[in-house]
Amino acid sequence: MKKIIIAIDGHSSCGKSTMAKDLARKIGYTYIDSGAMYRVITLYCIENNLFSGNELNLDVLRKEIGNIRITFRKNDATGHSDAFLNDRNVEAQIRSMAVAEKVSFTAAVDFVREALVGQQQAMGREKGIVMDGRDIGTVVFPGAELKIFVTASPEIRAQRRLDELIAKGEKANFDDVLRNIEKRDYIDSTRKDGPLRKADDALLLDNSTMTVDEQNQWLNQRFREKLKN
Ligand code: DC
C-alpha cells in the first residue's frame, strides 16, 4: 500500500500528539513530535546558561547548534519514543514548565528553525510518517497528502495540560498554565519564520467537546478516506 505523509498542526496542548501517536501506532507509521525537538534545544540553552531572562545568547547558540544532537528512541516500558540530547534521555525534563516557559523564544530563532526543518524533512523522505507541530503542513511538508489543523479553546487546553502536569507530580496551577498557553499561542502565531497558521488545504478540527476516542476515530476516518482517493 502506498505510504503518505500526515501533517498535524495546531495550538499548544490541543491533543495533537495524542491523536498523531494513536494513528501512527494503528497504521504502522513513524510518529515524530517536532515540538520535542524545539524543547530539546531549549533544554540545552537552559542547562548551558544561554538564557538571560527571555534573552537568548544567539552568538553562542549559533556556534553550538551543530553539536546538539537530537534523536528519538523507543522506550520499551512506555511503548513511546523518548527524546535524547546527545545520547542522554531528556524526555522528562523537556516536558517541564521551565522548558515550556522558554521554548517559544528558541522556536522563533531563524537558524534554529532552519536546522530543525532540515532534519524533519530528512525524516520524511521515505514517507510513512505522522508528524505534529506548528509548521508541518505549511513549511516542513507543504506537499503532505493529509493535513490537519487542530484547535480547542485556551481554557480547555489549559485544563488538559494541568491534568498532565499534576499526573506527573509537577506543581502547577490553572492560571499559570493558561497564561503560558496564551503567551505561546501569541508568540507562535506572530513570529516571522514558520508561524502557526492553518495551511489552505488542511482540514480543521476543533476538539473542544470531543473525547480522546472520538478524535482518534475522526482522524482514522480521514486517513481511510485519503487512501481511497
Ligand atoms: O508542541 P509543543 O507544545 O511540544 O511545542 C513546543 C514549542 O515548540 C511550541 O511553543 C511551539 C514550538 N514549535 C514550533 O515552533 N514548530 C513546530 N513544528 C513544533 C513546535
- The per-residue pLDDT for range 47-56, each reduced to its tens digit, is 999 999 999 9
What is the whole-number distance in angstroms between the Cα of residue 105 and the centre of ligand 1? 10
Q: How far apart are the first and last CA of the chain?
A: 13
All domains of the chain in start order, with CATH: 5-228 (3.40.50.300)
- Asked whether the predicted pLDDT for residue 129 surpasses 90, the reply is yes
Q: Grid coordinates 511503548 are at which residue?
A: 79
Ligand 1 pocket test, pick from 91, 134, 188 with the greatest ligand atom count within 8 Å of Cβ, gives 134
Provide the percentage of residues in the chain whose pLDDT is more than 70.
Answer: 100
Cα–Cα dist 1/57, whole Å: 47
Nearest Cα residue to 148 out of 199, 103, 104: 199
Dihedral pair phi/psi, residue 5, rounded to 5°: -110, 130
Dihedral pair phi/psi, residue 85, rounded to 5°: -110, 110
Q: Grid coordinates 522558554 are at which residue?
A: 102
What is the whole-number distance in angstroms between the Cα of residue 43 and the centre of ligand 1? 13
What is the whole-number distance in angstroms between the Cα of residue 134 and the centre of ligand 1? 6
Q: Is 105 in the pocket of ligand 1 (CB under 6 A)?
A: no
Mean pLDDT of 126-146: 97
Angle among Cα 188, 191, 98 to the nearest 5 degrees reads: 45
* Cβ contact 11:157 at 8 Å: yes
Mean pLDDT of 164-191: 91
Residue-wise pLDDT tens digits, 194-210 = 899 999 999 999 999 99
Q: Is 157 in the pocket of ligand 1 (CB under 6 A)?
A: no
Nearest Cα residue to 112 out of 176, 189, 194: 194
Q: How many CB atoms lie under 10 A from the CB of residue 78?
A: 9
Q: How many residues does the chain have?
A: 229
Helix (H) or strand (E) holding 129: strand 129-133
- Asked whether the predicted pLDDT for residue 76 surpasses 80, the reply is yes
Q: Is 185 in the pocket of ligand 1 (CB under 6 A)?
A: no
Mean pLDDT of 70-95: 93
Provide the percentage of residues in the chain whose pLDDT is more than 90.
Answer: 84
* Cβ contact 9:150 at 8 Å: yes
DSSP per-residue letters across 40-88? HHHHHHHHTT-EETTEE-HHHHHHHGGG--EEEEE-TTTSSEEEEETTE
Residue 14 gets which letter from DSSP? Answer: S
C-alpha cell read off for 156: 480547555
Give the residue whose CA is nearest to atom 14 of ligand 1. 134
Q: Is 102 in the pocket of ligand 1 (CB under 6 A)?
A: no
Q: Is 104 in the pocket of ligand 1 (CB under 6 A)?
A: yes
Residue 146: what pLDDT?
98
Atom of ligand 1 nearest to the CA of 16: 1
Q: Give helix 154-167 / helix 174-190 axis angle, nearest 10°.
A: 120
Which pairing describes strands 81-85 and 70-74: parallel, antiparallel, or unpaired?
Answer: antiparallel
Residue 194: what pLDDT?
87
What is the whole-number distance in angstroms between the Cα of residue 95 and the centre of ligand 1? 12
Give the residue whose CA is nearest to atom 1 of ligand 1. 35
Mean pLDDT of 89-118: 94
What is the whole-number distance in angstroms between the Cα of residue 35 and the centre of ligand 1? 4
Q: What is the mean pLDDT of the chain?
A: 94
SS3 of 150, please? strand
Higher pLDDT, 23 or 169: 23
